[in-house]
Amino acid sequence: MLIRIGYDIELGVTAPTALIYMLQVHPSRAADIPAGEAITISPPLATDHYRDAFDNQCARVHVPLGVGSVRLRNTAVVHDSGLPDPVDAGAIEHAPADLPTHTLAFLLPSRYCEVDSELLPFAWAHFSGTAPGWPRVQAICDFVHRHLRFDYQRARANRTALEAWRERIGVCRDFTHLAVTLCRCMNIPARYVTGYLGDIGVPPVPYPMDFSAWFEVWLGDRWHTFDARHNTPRIGRVVIARGRDAADVPITMVFGVNKLQRFDVVTQEVSA
C-alpha cells in the first residue's frame, strides 16, 4: 500500500525567535520512504537538524527580524504493509525489577501523565483483578474509550491525564495521556506516539484531518501499539515521534508570541 502524507502549516511571528519543529517521519520508517520527504520552509531560513534523546528527528529554524510568518510544507509517499496493528494477546507483563533499563523512564510521572496522583489508587482498584499483560492493557483501553467523550471543539493544549479523567472529555492526545498514565500506574511501561493516521479502511470522520496520537507499551520483549481513542487495530500508522507525553513531541514550538495561520494535514491511500 502507498500512503501520501504531508502538511501545510503557517505560523505568524512578530519578533526574532527560534522555531522548533518535529515534523519528519521517525527514522524507524525511513526505509519506507525511498524518495524521501520534500520539506520546504518559506521564506528560506537557516535550520539546524538534530536528534533528541528519544531518537526523534527535530529541527530548529532561526527566525530573524522582519519575518512576518513561517510556512512549513511537506509531501511524501510512504510504503506500508496495509495490515492492521498487530495483536499479541499472549504478550506478557514484567515486574519492574525484570524490565529492560531503557523502559524504566516510561514508568515515571511526566508533564501530562500524573502517575503520582489519585489515578494510582484508582488504577489498582479497577485493573489489578484483570489478567496481566495484553488483557490488562486492553482493559485500560476499553475503560478510557468508554470514559472519555471525543470532542474536537473541546481540545485544550494543557489538559492533563488527571483533568481528562475528571472532565470525561478530550481529543486523541487526552485519550492517550490517560491510557499511558493508567498503564504506568500498573507498572507497565508506556510511551506517547504522534504521527499520521488516515481514514484507511474505516468511514471518514466529519472533521479536518489532523495528526494523531496513540501509545506503545512494553510487553514481552518489545513495544506494542495501542489506541484508546479508536480502540481497534488500524491501518496505515506513520510514526513521527515518541516520548514520555505530548510535551516531548511538539509538532511546532515557537519561543515567543505566534499565531497559527494555516494548518492542513494530508494522509490518504494512493494507487501504485
pLDDT by residue (tens digit) across 144-195?
A: 999 999 998 888 989 999 999 999 999 999 999 999 999 999 999 999 999 9
Q: Break the chain into its structural domains and give their ranges.
A: 2-82+251-270, 96-247
101 Cβ partners below 8 Å, 6+ apart? Answer: none
Burial 215-250 (b: 16+ CB within 10 A, else e): bbbbbeeebbbbbbbbbeebbbbbbbbbbbbbebbb
**pTM to 2 decimal places:** 0.96
- Phi, then psi, of 42 in degrees rounded to 5: -120, 125
Instruction: Tell me what percent of the residues of the chain surpass a pLDDT of 70.
Output: 100
Contact 230, 237 (CB under 8 A): no
Domain 96-247 fold: C8orf32 fold (3.10.620)
All three cell numbers of 66, joined, read 522582519
Residue 26 reports pLDDT greater than 90 = yes
**E-assigned strands of 93-248?**
149-150, 169-170, 190-196, 212-219, 222-226, 238-243
Amino acid identity of 19?
Answer: L
- Give the fold, CATH level 3, of 2-82+251-270: Immunoglobulin-like (2.60.40)
- Render pLDDT for 221-251 as a digit per residue (tens, 0 to 9): 999 999 999 999 999 999 999 999 999 999 9
- DSSP, collapsed to helix, strand or coil, labels residue 251 as coil
